[in-house]
Each structure stands twice: as C-alpha cells, then as structure tokens.
Amino acid sequence: MAFIIIGLAVGVGTVVALRSLTATMEQEIGAQLDQYGANIVIVPKASSQELSYGGVTLSAATFDLRQLTDEDISRIKSIKYANRLSLIAPKLLGAVDIDGQKFLLSGAQLDQEVRMKQWWQVVGRVPDKADELLLGYEAAQKLGVIEAVKSADHDSMLHSDHTSVRQPELKLLRTELTLGGEEFRVVGVIRETGAQDDRMIFAGLPTAQRVLHKPGELSLIEVSALCQGCPIDDIVAQLSAALPEAKVSALQQAVRARLQTVERLSRFSTALSVVMLLIGFVMVFITMMNSVVERTREVGVLRALGFRKSHIVRIFMIEAALISLLGGLLGWAVGALSGVLSAPYFTETGAGAKPSLALALAALAAAVIVGVASSLYPAIKAAKLDPTEALRYY
C-alpha cells in the first residue's frame, strides 16, 4: 500500500507542479504580450469613391461617414465579453498650430494610454489636469521645450533583459505653450521611441475635444483584449453588433501568435500530465495484482464465511479509493509546494505560482479515478477465486 501511495503522490505531484508552472508561464507570457498594445481597432465606417478621368486621379469623395462618440464607449462595455477587455483607449486626433508649426494633437484618456503603451518612458509625469500637455520627443525639440544634456551623474537607466542602456538627461527649457488660444503647461516628455508618437502632442480627451471644437467626438477607439483564452473572433463580432456603423478590425497576427504560444504550452503540459497518470495507473495496477496474490488465503476465508463476490470487490475498491485519496492529498501538497518554490526560476519576472482550489480538487479526483480504475480488474479477479483453492494457498 505504501508503494501505491508513493506512486500516486509522485504522479499527482508532478502533474500539479507542471500545471502550476504552466499556468504561471501562460500568465506571464500574456502579460508581456499585452504590453505590445491594442489588438482591436474601431474606426468610423465610411464609403468612398475615387474620382478620375483619363487615368488621372483627381480626388476621392467620402460619404456616409458616421462619427464615433463618447457614447460608443458605453456600448463597448455592454457586450457579453466586456470582462475580457483589459483596456479601452478612445482617441480624438486633429491638427493644431503652435508657434507657426503644425502638429498632430491626440486627445486620450492618458492613464489608459500609458498602460497600453508601456514602452513609453515619460520624463516628468503624465498629465492629470485639463491645462497640462505631454509631448513626444521630436515635437518637444521643435518647440524648444527640451534640450538633451549628457551627464554621467543624471543618466536615465532603461532596463531590458538585465542590461542597462544610458540615455541623455532631458532638460526642460520652457513649459508654457499656447494651443488654440489657450495657455497650457508641459508637464512631461516621452523619450524617443522611433514611432509616430515622437511627433505628437498628447492631452486629455475632454481638452482635445474642446480645443479641436469637436465635443463628444472620437476618431478611433483602441481595445486591448489580450487576456488568457480570449475568443478574439467572438469579441470582434460582438463589437461589430454593438457598433453597426463602425469598422472593427483585429490585428490577427499579434493575436494568433499569442494564442498559439499559450496553446503550445498548454498542450505540452497536458500531454506530460497524461503520461504521468498512465504511469501511476500501471504502478497501482501491478501493486494491486500483487496484493491479491498475497491475500489469496484471506479472500478464501472470507468467501468460506459467506462473503459474496460483490462484498470482496467492494472491500478492494474502498481500500483502493481511500489509499488513492491519501496519495492524491500527499501529491497535491508536494506538487503545490514544488510549483511555488520553482516558479521564480522558470519565469523572467520571478512570478510565483499560487495554489488553486480547482487544481486541488482535480488532483484528488484524478488520483481516486486512477486508483479505483486500476484496482477494478484485480478486485474482480480476487472475487472470482474459488474458496477451496484459496484456502489451500500458502
């Protein structure tokens, strides 16, 4: 019986530890891929017609354009899978004139924008008031807001893969800007990203709507739905139904890459778990067969005293179930502890595995099922023993 307990404990413990590690790694991969930003973009749906004559294109006419509004955000939050949407980032884009230069103004909920674009390195702070602005690196340079100063004492450190990259300190030369006839204060500058963000000016959404004279209007809405097991196709369908006059597009490449990575980890974990349970099944089966042989005489005595075959089977099955339950409990405890201790060594962020009640119940159920199933044939064989022959067995 000790062999059965140890065998089941090893099998169940391995499966529990493996599933805990896999779940932790899946969450880490999902969190890292979430940092790449939105994977669903919602823009106004419009019809257009190209005007040309003699092979010369003159212009393109756009019609049936329905502008997105603030009310569409509440419609997005009303879909069935709204709880699968990690971020909703509405934006209003428009051109503004500052000091005789044209810039693209982006009005957004900046707290959501910073969460979505985690590669941003903001010098200063993110605006939280109506009269504050956040500038991209190139825009800040053109407006004379910053000056790059190389300093060994005040270098900014950007950490990536345990290595450091030094960047020059940014010195603010001016903080006051006039935008749309209103005075604003620059409170933050985004370090150079190499993307379009470097040439943009960012303000709060209500501020941009007021400056661009577009109250309640939106240019686009970015949605991040890179959660574990997100049904992207269903989410896109629900968003399209909620916003019939908008065009909903999913960045399928990013979504598919993430889902495939997570699915591969899950399949590997499942396959290895099945192998470990099969090994446990064989181990319990062999041990129970040996137990029947060793207790042949005992079975003969019970049968001679009037025990029926069903009684013998029930005795062996109850014994197997209790022993399997004990092995499952021991295996879950060892596996959960192993997962917690080893998870930091298998993840880049050092995230730890958390014990799961669902995994504990599944481990106990699997142990009992394996133990009972592998003991069924030995129990039936024991019940079929002839009492006379069994009593003469030494």
Write out pLDDT tens, residues 172-186: 777 888 887 888 999
**Which tokens hold the place of 63?**
């019609």
**Mean per-residue pLDDT over the chain, rounded:** 78
pLDDT at 356 over 70: yes
Chain segment 34-91, per-residue pLDDT in tens: 555 557 888 887 655 555 555 555 544 444 457 888 888 899 999 888 887 878 889 9
- 260: alpha, beta or left? (left if phi > 0; alpha if psi -120 to 50): alpha
Task: Name the helix (H) or strand (E) containing 164.
Answer: strand 163-167
- 60: alpha, beta or left? (left if phi > 0; alpha if psi -120 to 50): beta
The pLDDT score that the predictor gives to residue 352 is 61
**Which tokens hold the place of 27?**
């969450």
Which residues does residue 165 pair with via DSSP β-bridges, in sequence order? Answer: 158
Q: Which of the pair, 52 or 386, is modelled with greater confidence?
A: 386
Place of tokens 């997105």: 68
pLDDT at 195 over 80: yes
pLDDT at 211 over 70: yes
pLDDT at 9 over 60: yes
pLDDT at 164 over 50: no
Domain boundaries, the chain: 2-28+259-391
pLDDT at 105 over 70: yes
The pLDDT score that the predictor gives to residue 158 is 37
Contact 118, 31 (CB under 8 A): no
The pLDDT score that the predictor gives to residue 163 is 39
Cα separations in angstroms, 121 against 16, 117, 192: 39, 10, 8
CA distance 78 to 130: 28
Q: How confident is the model at residue 327 (pLDDT cuts 50, 70, 90)?
A: confident
User: Which of 117-121, 219-223, 296-300, 353-357 is predicted least confidently?
Assistant: 353-357
Average pLDDT over residues 262-277: 78
**pTM (2 d.p.):** 0.54
The pLDDT score that the predictor gives to residue 206 is 92
Q: How many CB atoms lie within 10 A of CB 263?
A: 12
Residue 32, burial from CB neighbour count under 10 angstroms (0-12, 13-18, 19+): middle
The pLDDT score that the predictor gives to residue 160 is 37
Long-range contacts of 53-61 (CB under 8 A, 24+ apart): none
User: Which of 96-110, 140-154, 266-280 is predicted least confidently?
Assistant: 140-154
Backbone angles phi, psi at 324, to 5 degrees: -65, -40
Chain segment 223-266, per-residue pLDDT in tens: 887 555 557 778 888 888 988 888 888 765 555 665 676 677 77
Q: Which of the pair, 28 or 336, is modelled with greater confidence?
A: 336
The pLDDT score that the predictor gives to residue 155 is 43
Average pLDDT over residues 151-160: 42
The alpha-helical segments, DSSP class H, found in the chain are 2-34, 71-76, 110-116, 137-142, 205-211, 232-242, 252-294, 296-304, 309-346, 357-383, 387-391
Q: Which of the pair, 393 or 114, is modelled with greater confidence?
A: 114
Looking at the chain, the whole-number percentage of residues with pLDDT higher than 90 is 7
Cα separations in angstroms, 195 against 30, 39, 159: 24, 17, 20
**Which tokens hold the place of 254?**
């990013």
Contact 309, 384 (CB under 8 A): yes
Q: Which of the pair, 103 or 27, is modelled with greater confidence?
A: 103
Task: Name the helix (H) or strand (E) containing 154.
Answer: none
